[in-house]
Chains A and B, each alone.
Chain A
Amino acid sequence: GDSVTQTEGPVTVSESESLIINCTYSATSIAYPNLFWYVRYPGEGLQLLLKVITAGQKGSSRGFEATYNKETTSFHLQKASVQESDSAVYYCALGGGGRALIFGTGTTVSVSP
Chain B
Amino acid sequence: AQTIHQWPVAEIKAVGSPLSLGCTIKGKSSPNLYWYWQATGGTLQQLFYSITVGQVESVVQLNLSASRPKDDQFILSTEKLLLSHSGFYLCAWSLDWGGRGQNTLYFGAGTRLSVL
Contact = CB atoms under 8 A, between A and B. Distances in A.
Contacts of A31: none
A43 B108 CA distance: 11
B49 A100 contact: yes
A102 B6 CA distance: 22
Interface in A54-113: 91, 95-106
A75 to B, nearest CB: 15
Contact of A48 (B34, B59, B105, B108): B105
Interface residues of A, number: 24
B104 A45 contact: no
Contacts of A51: 104
A104 B38 CA distance: 11
A45 B42 contact: no
Contacts of B22: none
Interface of A: 4, 34, 36, 38, 43-48, 51, 91, 95-106
